[in-house]
């Protein structure tokens, strides 16, 4: 990493504003259902407390689109952080302005203040310079530890860096970058890429960018059907991204030229509707009847994919291979998660909220080499795109 790290700067008695990713899932009663992202920020937070910084945290939560939405306050995240740290975390109701500045000035070394959801201001996502300047006024040092939003050029991830002299990279951000670099810089072979989920347009750049590194591409989930369509197989009413069919054809040709083995599922679990009560049957590849859609990979595909994964030395997985939110369509994704966990010889990385949820559902999170907290950010990083949140950090 050629960026200034938290370890490179003197933080004692300094006001440090750190961008974290506390965009945690909440249930209808604002209870946090998964605190992984808060826990992932703890190493940087604990370090800054121990070193005597006056710590100010800023994050976004969901998409309030510039409005104050009660259910999107960061209050539950502040409470949870306080529990995890065993100290009181003061939570403010805004992230800029004179009141916030007064509270920031009152902070003592080792204390922690959590600001309100930055996206309550529309200027945040617009990367507005005045808003960035107001936020920068709160602190002496800026640290970005929010890998999950590093692909967004917002005020709290990019704009603020223009108005503070010292801009450093947090430990989580460093860990994420190192883990992903291991996939691109001399990955141990065979390298298997597994791509599932629904949004094929987000995944194609990664397939293209990793084409010279990977040996095998396993396709599942909704994205597999656009490839099946590109091969003229019958896919019934399965999800298809019409705009990407030609691109899928190009990928098939490119992979063949590069001798990458591209697998589409040998069989599918299909249903007439995506619901808990749907009746399912299994069909061979290319035989999904009209009125039916693929909702999971079938047993033959699971077996084949398990074998491929067991023979790999490096694996990156993004996107569930079925509509895993519904238990009866989650078998394939759980099998993939377990296959990754069982291959203890391989370097395994999982990115994307849904694949992580599948890994958690399978109960194997501790057996995966690296779980990336940033789905979109990890895809863009692996696609070779410079992430604005990383570019904005000071070079060493």
Tokens linked to 81: 């952080």
| Residue 341 binds ligand AMP, judged by CB under 6 A | no
| Residue 241 binds ligand AMP, judged by CB under 6 A | no
Segment interacting with ligand AMP, rule: CB under 6 A, options 118-126, 151-159, 320-328, 341-349: 320-328
| Residue 267 binds ligand AMP, judged by CB under 6 A | no
**What is the Cα–Cα distance from 113 to 273, expressed in whole angstroms?**
47
The binder of ligand AMP chosen from 81, 239, 240, 393 (CB under 6 A): 239
Contact predicate 390/3, CB 8 Å: yes
| Residue 222 binds ligand AMP, judged by CB under 6 A | yes
Q: Given 3-state DSSP classes, what are the helix, strand and coil percentages for the chain, each rounded to the nearest 5? A: 40, 20, 40
Output the smallest distance, CB 224 to ligand AMP, in A.
Answer: 7
Nearer to ligand AMP, 319 or 388 (CB): 319
Q: Is 102 a catalytic residue?
A: no
Spatial CA neighbour of 237 closest among 294, 298, 281: 294
| Residue 40 binds ligand AMP, judged by CB under 6 A | no
Segment interacting with ligand AMP, rule: CB under 6 A, options 13-21, 42-50, 102-110, 193-201: 193-201
Contact predicate 4/169, CB 8 Å: yes
Tokens linked to 256: 């063949």
User: DSSP string spanning 3-54?
Assistant: B-BGGGS--TT-EEEEE------B-TTS-BS--HHHHHHHHHHHHHHHTT-E
| Residue 198 binds ligand AMP, judged by CB under 6 A | yes
- Under rule CB under 6 A, which residues in 343-362 are in contact with ligand AMP? 352, 354
**What is the Cα–Cα distance from 210 to 198, expressed in whole angstroms?**
20
- Under rule CB under 6 A, which residues in 284-313 are in contact with ligand AMP? 294-295
Q: Is 376 a catalytic residue?
A: yes
Chain length of the chain = 396
Residue with tokens 């009413």: 237
Spatial CA neighbour of 221 closest among 202, 199, 201: 199
Segment interacting with ligand AMP, rule: CB under 6 A, options 15-23, 44-52, 125-133, 191-199: 191-199
| Residue 199 binds ligand AMP, judged by CB under 6 A | yes
Segment interacting with ligand AMP, rule: CB under 6 A, options 150-158, 174-182, 316-324, 356-364: 316-324
Contact predicate 271/292, CB 8 Å: yes
SS3 143: strand
| Residue 325 binds ligand AMP, judged by CB under 6 A | yes
Q: Check 37, 51, 80, 166 and give the catalytic one.
A: 37
| Residue 94 binds ligand AMP, judged by CB under 6 A | no
Secondary structure element (H or E) that encloses residue 91, with its range: strand 89-91
| Residue 319 binds ligand AMP, judged by CB under 6 A | yes
What strands lie across the sheet with 267-271, from one edge to the other? 280-284, 267-271, 293-297
The binder of ligand AMP chosen from 76, 78, 170, 221 (CB under 6 A): 221
| Residue 330 binds ligand AMP, judged by CB under 6 A | no
Output the smallest distance, CB 372 to ligand AMP, in A.
Answer: 13
| Residue 388 binds ligand AMP, judged by CB under 6 A | no
**What is the Cα–Cα distance from 194 to 264, expressed in whole angstroms?**
11
* Residues recognised as catalytic: 37, 199, 353, 376
Residues near ligand AMP, by CB under 6 A: 196-199, 221-222, 239, 294-295, 319-320, 322-323, 325, 352, 354
């Amino acid at each position: 990493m050629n960026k200034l790290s938290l370890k490179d700067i003197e933080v004692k008695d300094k006001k440090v504003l750190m961008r974290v990713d506390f965009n945690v899932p909440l249930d209808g009663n604002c209870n946090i259902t998964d605190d992984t992202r808060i826990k992932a920020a703890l190493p940087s937070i604990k370090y800054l407390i121990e070193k005597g910084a006056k710590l100010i945290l800023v994050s976004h939560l969901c998409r309030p689109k510039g409005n104050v939405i009660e259910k999107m306050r960061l209050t539950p995240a502040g409470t949870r952080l306080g529990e995890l740290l065993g100290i009181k975390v003061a939570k403010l109701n805004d992230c800029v302005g004179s009141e916030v500045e007064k509270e920031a000035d009152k902070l003592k070394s080792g204390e922690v203040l959590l600001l309100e959801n930055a996206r309550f201001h529309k200027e945040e996502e617009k990367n507005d310079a005045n808003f960035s300047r107001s936020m920068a006024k709160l602190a002496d040092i800026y640290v970005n530890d929010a890998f999950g939003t590093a692909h967004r050029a917002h005020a709290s991830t990019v704009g603020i860096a223009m108005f503070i002299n010292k801009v450093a990279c947090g430990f989580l951000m460093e860990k994420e970058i190192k883990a992903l670099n291991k996939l691109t810089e001399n990955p141990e072979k065979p390298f298997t890429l597994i791509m599932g989920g629904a949004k094929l347009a987000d995944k194609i750049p990664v397939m293209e960018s990793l084409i010279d590194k990977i040996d095998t591409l396993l396709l599942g989930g909704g994205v597999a059907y656009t490839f099946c369509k590109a091969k003229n197989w019958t896919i019934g009413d399965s999800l298809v991204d019409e705009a990407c069919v030609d691109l899928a054809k190009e990928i098939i040709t490119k992979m063949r030229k590069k001798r990458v083995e591209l697998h589409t599922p040998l069989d599918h679990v299909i249903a007439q509707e995506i619901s808990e009560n749907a009746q399912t049957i299994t069909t061979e590849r290319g035989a999904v009847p009209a009125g039916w859609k693929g909702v999971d990979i079938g047993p033959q595909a699971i077996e084949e994919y398990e074998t491929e994964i067991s023979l790999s030395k490096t694996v990156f997985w993004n996107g569930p291979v079925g509509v895993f939110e519904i238990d009866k369509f989650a078998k394939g994704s759980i099998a993939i998660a377990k296959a990754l966990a069982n291959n203890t010889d391989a370097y395994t990385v999982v990115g994307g909220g849904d694949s992580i949820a599948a890994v958690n559902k399978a109960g194997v999170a501790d057996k995966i080499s690296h779980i990336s907290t940033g789905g979109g950010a990890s895809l863009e990083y692996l696609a070779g795109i410079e992430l604005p949140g990383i570019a904005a950090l000071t070079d060493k």
